[in-house]
């Protein structure tokens, strides 16, 4: 039976690798909520509102997807509130696993009915991480292969904004 899942992340910014994982999730689940949240261990380049705008734009032609922002609180509580029993996470490399394993078990501790589902993106995205995309883009490199045109535009704007400071 197809069900509702949440696909959480900082999405700073939303990349084609994220989109690939989302498309795979849509083959499994009837409804996927992309949840933009803060990671206390990361300092985001884009505000949560900017990330929401770009993510909405990227997914606007997809059905079965909504975008929500988790301003505060635990992801596990959010999943419970919206009746999602699956959390989708993309894993690219073995080094992702330790952190994912910890988060998955913690979320299960907080919400025993929830299961984290790990999906691997297309191999061409295994080295595509938001952190490296941001770094290259902010230094003027071409990242057009890795992000949607609207994300690219927002990254150009951000670069100009930062250069003015």
Question: Catalytic residue positions?
Answer: 18, 42, 92, 130
- Nearby residues of 84 by Cβ (< 8 Å), 6 or more positions away: 3, 4, 5, 6, 33, 114
Stretch that binds ligand PNS, among 5-13, 53-61, 116-124, 137-145 (CB under 6 A): 5-13
Residue 82 exposure: Cα atoms within 13 Å on the Cβ side? 24
Of 37, 6, 13, residue with least CA distance to 128: 13
Give the residue with the Cβ less far from ligand PNS, 85 or 142. 85
Residue 103 interacting with ligand PNS (CB under 6 A): yes
Q: How far is the CB of 163 from ligand PNS (least distance, A)?
A: 26
Q: Which residue in 37, 67, 88, 152 binds ligand PNS (CB under 6 A)?
A: 37
Q: Is 107 in the site for ligand PNS (CB under 6 A)?
A: yes
Is position 116 an interface residue for ligand PNS (rule: CB under 6 A)? no
Choosing from 10, 16, 86, 116, the residue that interacts with ligand PNS (CB under 6 A) is 10
79 CB burial (10 A radius; 0-12, 13-18, 19+): buried
Is there a cis peptide before residue 15, judged by omega within 30 degrees of 0?
no
**Residue 106 binds to ligand PNS (criterion: CB under 6 A):** yes
Contact in structure between 69 and 28 (CB atoms under 8 Å): no
Binding stretches for ligand PNS (CB under 6 A): 8-10, 37, 39, 42, 70, 74-75, 103, 106-107
């Amino acid at each position: 039976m197809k069900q509702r899942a949440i696909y959480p992340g900082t999405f700073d910014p939303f990349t084609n690798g994220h989109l690939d994982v989302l498309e795979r999730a849509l083959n499994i689940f009837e409804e996927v909520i992309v949840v933009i949240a803060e990671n206390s261990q990361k300092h985001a380049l884009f505000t949560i509102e900017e990330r929401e705008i770009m993510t909405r734009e990227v997914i606007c032609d997809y059905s079965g997807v909504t975008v929500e922002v988790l301003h505060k609180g635990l992801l596990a509580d959010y999943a419970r509130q919206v009746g999602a029993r699956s959390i989708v996470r993309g894993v690219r490399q073995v080094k992702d696993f330790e952190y994912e394993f910890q988060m998955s078990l913690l979320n299960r501790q907080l919400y025993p009915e929830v299961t984290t589902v790990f999906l691997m993106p297309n191999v061409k995205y295994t080295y595509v991480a938001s952190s490296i995309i941001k770094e290259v883009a902010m230094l003027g490199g071409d990242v057009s292969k890795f992000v949607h045109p609207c994300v690219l535009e927002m990254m150009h704007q951000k670069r100009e904004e930062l250069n003015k400071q």
